[in-house]
Structure 1
């Protein structure tokens, strides 16, 4: 994939680990310059130190409304343009609804839904003016199936899938492609809330994805000819349905 994104500038939120980091590394390998957005300053500094001038760390708490609103202007100051937005930052609330902490629900819905909507809203004027752009949102397999062990998380992803599909229909006329990638369980920090027994069983049965596999799907979406939009990609481990 070397050179396929040469000259492009990408912004990846939640870039310090998991799918965001894998996506970042894939885009850098393909020749893009990438602005890595995350709260984890130490991780961003370390990652960017490995990639030289092509990687730019941007420490942002996206749940802070002022910081979130300043994201796109900051990126434009740093890199001059935005060709790709990978709206990846998110968090997880699983388990029985009656046992969930309502503050955690608020935080998850704000990050998984509101922040994504605001990031896309803020980048669109720039992309519309340039008549080109790619927006990829990290969704979930939970957006396509009413997953009984994670009603709050699944609901956030159902909402964001509707957002992706409706916004895509508004902006394709401007040369902007919008799509989502919906992986099944990925080995990442988002699984920290899974019961240990469930996580152990999933690992042993081969029912988890690697973040790099999700990044491969994202690169497939980004590198298609401009007249082709990959609308939604659903990835799941083969054994996950067992």
Structure 2
């Protein structure tokens, strides 16, 4: 086990699988106490038991306003401090705008944008009072160029790019670093609707990255000395532009 984050407490949303789970494991491996957050109580309980005594769990449905509002206060009551907040939970809609529904759009924006803003809003007073903290948001390469084949998802990630970069400047005087990680296609639950054959071909062609690749990048970002902020890291499959 490493010691990069000893005596620090991290909170990771969307931690039941994918990037959230990989990041939780990576932070634990570097000595952090990690609160994993997801709405699936059974999965959270099982993961906390598997990952060891430094892993605690918080059951939160980020799409439920009351549950979302309770998340940070309940975590602070349980562990006393939040040094790292990784807002990772999110969902995906691909295809033309005409192919989706208003309800699906609402769900995506509520989870990908509103919940992130609410979680940051809840954690910031605590971090300001302590004069330190790190906030990392999982964005996407789709938040950096107009991905016309997924305009709703891309739009949500552009919104987060703007929010993160604005908050980075706003919170800098308080000793709080704010950054985002912007992966390309990651093997995760977001690709659950891909045909298995397409997933296999993309993986073999080097067109996908693993959640662990993203987690390693996040550990690198968080472990820089305090005078250094990696404001946004874009991490892509090497063959991303050739697949």
Under a length normalisation based on structure 1, what TM-score does the superposition of the two structures give?
A: 0.97
Q: State the Cα distance separating 1:46 from its structure 2 match.
A: 1.4
**Residues 120-159 of structure 1 aligned to structure 2 (within 5 Å):** 120-159=120-159
State the alpha-carbon separation in 2 of the partners of residues 202 and 124 from structure 1.
40
Aligned to 2:178: 178
Matched, 1:18 2:22: no
State the alpha-carbon separation in 1 of the partners of residues 115 and 18 from structure 2.
19
Aligned to 1:201: 201
State the alpha-carbon separation in 2 of the partners of residues 104 and 198 from structure 1.
24
Q: State the Cα distance separating 1:198 from its structure 2 match.
A: 4.3
Q: Secondary structure at the match of 1:238?
A: coil
**Structure 2: gaps (5+ residues):** none
| Contact 1:94/1:194 (8 A) holds in 2 | no
Q: State the Cα distance separating 1:102 from its structure 2 match.
A: 1.8
| Contact 1:92/1:193 (8 A) holds in 2 | no
Q: State the Cα distance separating 1:197 from its structure 2 match.
A: 5.8
Q: Secondary structure at the match of 2:136?
A: strand
**Structure 1: gaps (5+ residues):** none
Under a length normalisation based on structure 2, what TM-score does the superposition of the two structures give?
A: 0.97
Aligned to 1:58: 58
The range that moved more, 129-138 or 65-74, is 65-74
- The 4+ residue runs of structure 1 with deviation greater than 2 A are 193-201
**Residues 154-165 of structure 1 aligned to structure 2 (within 5 Å):** 154-165=154-165
Which deviations, in whole Å up to 9, do the C-alpha atoms of 1:77-116 show, x marking residues without a partner?
1111000000000000101211112211110110000000
State the alpha-carbon separation in 2 of the partners of residues 104 and 192 from structure 1.
16
Matched, 1:100 2:71: no
Q: Secondary structure at the match of 2:52?
A: helix
